[in-house]
Structure 1
Amino acid sequence: MTMAQVEVNIQLAETIYWQPETECNFEPENTVDVWRIYIPLYKDQTAHFLNLLQPDEIVRANRYVQEKDRIRFIISRAALREIVSRYINQPAKGIIFGSGPNKKPFIVGAALRYNVSHSANWVLIAISKTDVGVDTETIDASFKFESILEDYFSPAEISFINGNPKNFFLLWTRKEALTKATAQGLDENLKHIPSLDGMHITNTNILKTDKNWLVKSFKTDAENQGSIVCEKIIKKLCFFEIKLSKNV
Structure 2
Amino acid sequence: MNAAGPEADVIDAWSIPTDQPPDVVHHLYGLLDPGERERADRAHDPVEGGRFAVARGAVRLLVAERLALAPADLVWHYGPHGKPAPALPPAAEPLQVNWSGSGALALLALAVGRRVGADVEQLARPGVGERIARRHFPAADAALVLDAPTPADGADRFTRLWCRREACVKVHGGRLAQGLGLPLAGPSPLRLADAAPLGPGPLWLADVPVPGPFRAAVAADTDRPFTVRHRTWTA
Give the gaps of 5 or more residues in structure 1.
Answer: 1-10, 12-26
SS in 1 for 2:15: strand
The range that moved more, 226-235 or 173-182, is 226-235
SS in 1 for 2:117: strand
- The change in CA–CA distance for 1:28 and 1:52 in structure 2 (over 3 A counts) is farther
Partner in structure 2 of residue 83 of structure 1: 62
Partner in structure 2 of residue 197 of structure 1: 186
| Equivalent position amino acid for 1:37 in 2 | I
SS in 2 for 1:220: coil
The structure showing larger relative contact order (alpha-carbon pairs under 8 Å, at least 6 residues apart) is 1
Partner in structure 2 of residue 32 of structure 1: 11
- The change in CA–CA distance for 1:201 and 1:117 in structure 2 (over 3 A counts) is closer
1:183 is aligned to 2:180: no
Which of 159, 176, 183 aligns to 2:143? It is: 159
Structure 1 residue 143: Cα displacement? 5.9
Partner in structure 1 of residue 219 of structure 2: 229
Counterpart CA distance in 2 for 1:75 and 1:146 is 33
Partner in structure 1 of residue 206 of structure 2: 216
Give the gaps of 5 or more residues in structure 2.
Answer: none
Partner in structure 1 of residue 233 of structure 2: 242
- The change in CA–CA distance for 1:46 and 1:143 in structure 2 (over 3 A counts) is farther
Whichever structure has more strand as a proportion of its residues is 1
Structure 1 residue 73: Cα displacement? 0.7
Identity fraction in percent: 21
Which of 90, 104, 115 aligns to 1:131? It is: 115
Q: How many residues align?
A: 217
Structure 1 residue 37: Cα displacement? 1.4
| Equivalent position amino acid for 1:238 in 2 | R
Q: What TM-score do you get using the length of structure 2 for normalisation?
A: 0.83
Counterpart CA distance in 1 for 2:68 and 2:193 is 39
Q: In angstroms, what is the RMSD of aligned CA positions?
A: 2.2
Counterpart CA distance in 1 for 2:192 and 2:25 is 45
Partner in structure 2 of residue 47 of structure 1: 26
